[in-house]
Structure 1
């Protein structure tokens, strides 16, 4: 479309996917005259700038998309939203993110008569429910540009999936590969035989159940490959290893050091975003011919293959779901490159019947998640309805609930309870927890229809998108912090911005904990004492002594995670910090990203409570530091889509020190100047910088026009 009539939203499954989409769409925006704005993590202005000259396309994660829609409703601008495109619509049925997506779509349906919603998915079953919820037409097509053939391997036999066969499988061929006894022991599933049938001429993905298995499989395959594999694209592989080394501040993962020369790498969340991005680029360009990966790659950026191998019908310890299976095998077949794609699922004899059921079972149905996790979704929904004044009395709230997906699926209701019963119970819970209250004058006739209002705590909770399970704890922690907030350093603030949902997943290494505690400055040790973790406690845990007086494990874990962030802000080196704390680089980066996002939420939480005014300026700066965790001069460059830390350093050292420098760069000159930068990457970086610069200029121009506008009521 040449010119978007109204703003648009695009919901993706991760921040990296959002980043990819922004880069891909920025070029179109520059050519066709619309702005592309990123809403992921701490990025994105809430509410968005009201554009007069150009229209915007918002590319958002589910969580940021929800905040965006809330802000448009609150400012009376929801009608400006012309089209909402939801990719992977089946996410409606997946945990708390599904609940957030349902809330967002329900609010759009209830408050706007002009916004069009388009949902897309390749793995939906109960389409009728979603049609009814979205009041939508249904379009389906089985066309696939590249034919997909599905196979199952049991021992040495490969069977083709055949719906006409009696047991669903037809014998295809016997795997021909001569194995020595030692190789048979190392590779009982014959992975080497399967991958060498396609690599290095064609590409291959091997999905593994766990992250560690990805690394082990990559190394095992390389160990038995012919040395001839090393001779292919030697220079490009050396350049890739050099890039990965530069990305990691002079370090190279030992596993990648051994596998990349063979054209093989692993891909999972233990890698940093920089590493994953570079590996994806190398795979897409043919430098790497095989990736061993976890199931998360199936829902990420587009990395197709000639052959997809599923190492086992499990994700971790859980048996594969049909939706997961379809997502993984859907990677097979590269349009415009291959005439066919094929998937091979490796199965043990004991799992044969389970796999036969899996292959021919229908896709899992998509069910509302508003009642999961102790009704967390519906509680958040009703709180925001009152906060946004979408519905301000019991009857209006019930009417809203009648348009949700949850109402379309009455089988989800608790036994002997109606939708009205559940709605009233949740409203009572919100009042009991000081998040909603009845208006003092609600008994008067004129106010009978508006008898609910949000409390200051409720307002802060929904404005900050804070999980209702943690809002009271956050309030208490911030209140306690006011009694003695230590600002000689940032440890105390970091402690307050550790995401609560990460605390329970933390398992401290006590020797590391004690070592880090011992190296704290006196001021930082005072912070630890204030929050309730003494040096003697940590020392006893490290030495294995019995602790008589228990300390809250959540407090202990939270402080440990604060140490990780503190170390990261001091060193700006994820690799060093990961080694120091004996954990993966990917976990460190996830913690950093989550803390940045939560810091932004806490900032919005504090903005709604006057007693926390002191936190506003402090958290604004901390959020910025956590968002990028690089030297200040690199931050403007890292705002550009596709530019991560390693690339920002390259650009800065080559003279591209500002956004304007980058926006005015010649892509061909960038390719010649910046080592290992492809033309397509250079064009995306320049178009993204131009888009960002145009967006900033547009915002300033509109701000000036607003200031110069003469109020009509002045004589």
Structure 2
């Protein structure tokens, strides 16, 4: 089927022509035949790199041409940014929504395509964002993540709510291979497009003792080093290809990248430029190590890196300069980074409570699907490394020849569904018991189980908790939210987190930074750090010195949850006390990306706590507000007046303070020339422009007050 034969805009057709796309792949053509442009719902379960995104993009442009509006839901913020870039510059308006969870973001409604995470869409629904009612096409990327324990219920409830709100809306769901696609398609009233076709042939095999064993042949690999994984990489790079190597931990990813860099020793001016971009902002040894690896053609990629560093690595790999990336499985989750050979070195991963456990088949397929760059590689190879000869057949049976797992709903999990039950009540989706039951019967859980008995029991227990917490009122069959319950729903808080925070702050007598932060770190909404063996001494010493400042009870016996919450709170307190990034990373055994992730997570909880404090503990509202700004910028309290200026962060604020400019008045009195000597003339000019604007506003306000007084005599 030719691009010229389908109903898309000339502008989009021209974009495809520039990329050399003139013909649809067979699975894409099947989507058209099954009603893509006729408003039919579709579940598209085809391999990675088979053109799922292009199908969605064509459908979106078709809707936009008919005055429709499109919502594209992704599981990760990084993927949202990638899709935003992909869809931009093609003659339509594109917006992205991944930020604050208590905003309606009405301005986004001006766009034709809005890219957002499922959590952000859920928060927009809770805050009754009006433009959601205008959505004519919903695209669900990586829809199989409905069975994710931590975010699957949110995705499932968002789908159910949007379909309830817009029954005529077309739904296009995109997925990797799953075991029960028809079951998922039936729930969405969707036609199923299922295929194993790929634009680049994928060969899957197992490596052992110098040879890759494929189902129909063997391929020898030259021994160049003492390391099998590195030999596999050098073999591919020597043929002009690139490699992705998946390992079980960040430590392993970094160790392999160093070995790969030493083995490659590439001499490439472009690599030096990428390395210098990383080195220019490197504050830690991890970042300096990354820069050194990139300079020789290798890199590592994991959540401990800053976003900008990950983007530089991704760009260097896409441009063909970086030849090898070693990564934790996070890289397999959606990002478009294909390579000629994908090496799955570690297929066991530590799981709390289970020890080292095999990765799921679907995760293996996500990794293997990265093999083969369309238009660049004649083939793609996915290679598992066997630890012994007896493992070869086992790896074929467990991964290469095994079917993917079925997708299962997470909506019967009481711990994750409470927030969604409250939001249904607070937003008016369900105000009677019968309405609540009817809505829950629209979930994938109800459709796949055929019985809602277990779900009803979960809902009743959640309602009991919400009632006892005074977040809802029940009068017979009627249910309505209290002011407290409505606030919790709008703030996008887990009700258990809200109750922990509200109860504690209403009882404490005096504010304490560490007490407040450690309280937040005990809530379900806050991720916490692992506690290492050598952390015990420092935690015990901290407790001995600060026991009176903590707001939660200190357990008599060792408690992993308490220790994790305290360690995380200590890291956050250090950040707000202006401790250097390198020191924090070394002290707590984390990467720069972890620090920013922790700060981002707690910032939202601090923001929510400020609103709860206004309701339950007004005396704490101001110090919590101060902590919100301190945590955002990583500053001590003394810098608060200065950091309110745009463009002034922790480094510039500290520089001003240490030079004696401790307030806005002191900065004004110093004048632009003196401030320019401290921060540079450009920044100084921006500061004084703000200060002049502030003075004009004050004068205007004063004039308005005088006018009002005169008017009323």
User: Do the structures match in fold with TM over 0.5?
Assistant: yes
Distance 1:361 1:250, change over 3 A: closer
Deviations 1:173-206 (A, max 9, x none): 333x246xxx5xx42xx22321112215321111
1:8 aligns with 2:34: no
For residues 471-518 of structure 1, what are the alpha-carbon distances to aligned partners after superposition, in whole Å with 9 as ceiling and x for unaligned?
32122222234x3225xxx55554454463457644272555578789
387-396 or 252-261, which moves further after superposition?
252-261
Q: Quick one: distance in 1 between partners of 2:592 and 2:249?
A: 16
Task: Trace 1:346-385 onto structure 2 (pairs within 5 A).
Answer: 346-348=385-387, 349-357=389-397, 358-372=399-413, 375-385=414-424
Mapped pair 1:170 → 2:170 = no
Q: How far apart are the structure 2 equivalents of 1:455 and 1:400?
A: 21
Question: 1:401 and 1:220 mapped to 2: Cα distance?
Answer: 52
Distance 1:288 1:504, change over 3 A: closer
Give the structure-1-normalised TM-score.
0.72
User: 1:348-406 deviations in whole A, cap 9, x for unaligned?
Assistant: 3343343222222221111110113xx22343332222222211111111111221111
**Residues 89-238 of structure 1 aligned to structure 2 (within 5 Å):** 89-160=143-214, 169-175=215-221, 177-178=222-223, 183=225, 186-187=226-227, 190-199=228-237, 201-223=240-262, 225=263, 229-233=264-268, 235-238=269-272
Structure 1 contact 308–342 (Cα < 8 Å) conserved = yes
**In structure 2, do the counterparts of structure 1 residues 575 and 432 end up closer, same or farther at CA, with 3 Å as the change threshold?**
same
For the residues of structure 1 that align with 2:575 and 2:270, how far apart are their CA atoms? 32
For residue 579 of structure 1, report the CA deviation from its aligned partner: 1.9
Between the two proteins, the alignment pairs up a number of residues equal to: 579
Deviation of residue 66 (structure 1)?
Answer: 1.0
Alignment of 1:298-337 (within 5 A): 298-316=332-350, 317-337=356-376
For residues 334-358 of structure 1, give each alpha carbon's deviation from its aligned partner in whole angstroms, at most 9, with x where no partner exists: 1232232221111233433432222
- Answering whether residue 124 of structure 2 is matched by residue 68 of structure 1, we say yes
How far the C-alpha of 1:578 sits from its partner, in A, is: 0.7
Structure 2, unmatched stretches of 5+, are 1-60, 351-355, 636-641, 650-678, 687-713
Decide whether the 8 Å contact of 1:37 with 1:59 is kept in 2: yes
Q: Which aligned pairs between 1:594-673 and structure 2 lie closer than 5 A?
A: 594-603=601-610, 605=612, 610-612=615-617, 622-623=627-628, 626-627=631-632, 629=634, 632=643
Higher relative contact order (CA 8 A, sep 6+): 1
Distance 2:87 2:627 in 1: 30
Matched, 1:507 2:531: yes
Report matched runs for 1:437-476 at 5 Å.
437-439=473-475, 442=476, 451-476=478-503
Partner of 2:655: none
- Matches of 1:93 and 1:412 in 2, distance apart? 18
CA distance in 1, matches of 2:528, 2:408: 27
Match of 2:290 among 256, 265, 275: 256
1:139 counterpart SS class: strand
Q: Which ranges of structure 1 fall in alignment gaps of 5 or more residues? A: 161-168, 443-449, 519-524, 538-546, 639-651, 660-715
Contact 1:464 1:602 in 2 (8 A): no
Quick one: distance in 1 between partners of 2:118 and 2:98?
Answer: 9
Instruction: Write the mapping of 1:474-485 to structure 2, written as runs, cut at 5 A.
Output: 474-481=501-508, 483-485=509-511
Contact 1:564 1:581 in 2 (8 A): yes
What do residues 15-36 of structure 1 show as CA deviations (whole Å, max 9, x unaligned)?
22223333444544xx53x351
Q: Contact conserved, 2:528 with 2:568, CA < 8 A, in 1? A: no
Query: 1:599: how far off?
Result: 3.0
> Does the CA contact (< 8 Å) of 1:88 and 1:122 recur in 2?
yes
Question: Which of residues 565, 590, 596 in structure 2 aligns to 1:589?
Answer: 596
Say which of 433, 443, 463 aligns to 1:394: 433
User: Secondary structure of the equivalent of 2:237?
Assistant: coil
CA distance in 2 between partners of 1:616 and 1:465 (Å): 19
Residues 76, 391 of structure 1: CA spacing in aligned structure 2 closer, same or farther, 3 A cutoff? farther
CA contact 2:102–2:491 (8 Å) conserved in 1: no
Equivalence for 1:403 = 442
Q: For the structure 1 residues 597 and 385, does the alpha-carbon distance in structure 2 shift closer, same or farther, using more than 3 Å as the test?
A: same
> Residues 95 and 198 from structure 1, CA distance in 2 versus in 1: closer, same or farther, beyond 3 angstroms?
same
Q: Give the secondary-structure state (helix, strand or coil) at the position aligned to 1:131.
A: helix
The answer for the alignment partner of 1:530 in structure 2 is: 549
Counterparts of 2:584 and 2:147, CA distance in 1: 37
Match of 1:436 in 2: 472
Matches within 5 A, 1:77-96: 78-96=132-150
SS in structure 2 of the partner of residue 571 of structure 1:
coil
State whether residues 274 and 295 of structure 2, in contact with CA within 8 Å, keep that contact through their aligned partners in structure 1: no
Instruction: Quote the offset at 1:97 in angstroms.
Output: 0.5
2-structure distance, mates of 1:84, 1:378 = 23
- What is the TM-score normalised by the length of structure 2? 0.72
CA distance in 2, matches of 1:633, 1:303: 40
Q: Is the 1:464–1:605 contact (alpha carbons within 8 Å) kept by the matching residues of 2?
A: no
Residue 382 of structure 2, aligned match among 336, 343, 350: 343
* 2:301 is aligned with 1:267: yes
Q: Is the 8 A contact 2:204 2:383 kept in 1?
A: yes
How far apart, in 1, do the equivalents of 2:484 and 2:186 lie?
Answer: 35
The equivalent residue for 2:12 is none
Q: Is the 8 A contact 2:157 2:420 kept in 1?
A: yes
SS of residue matched to 2:569? helix
Q: Equivalent of 2:463, from 427, 433, 439?
A: 427
Contact 1:5–1:55 under 8 Å retained in 2: no
Match for 2:277 among 243, 246, 253?
Answer: 243
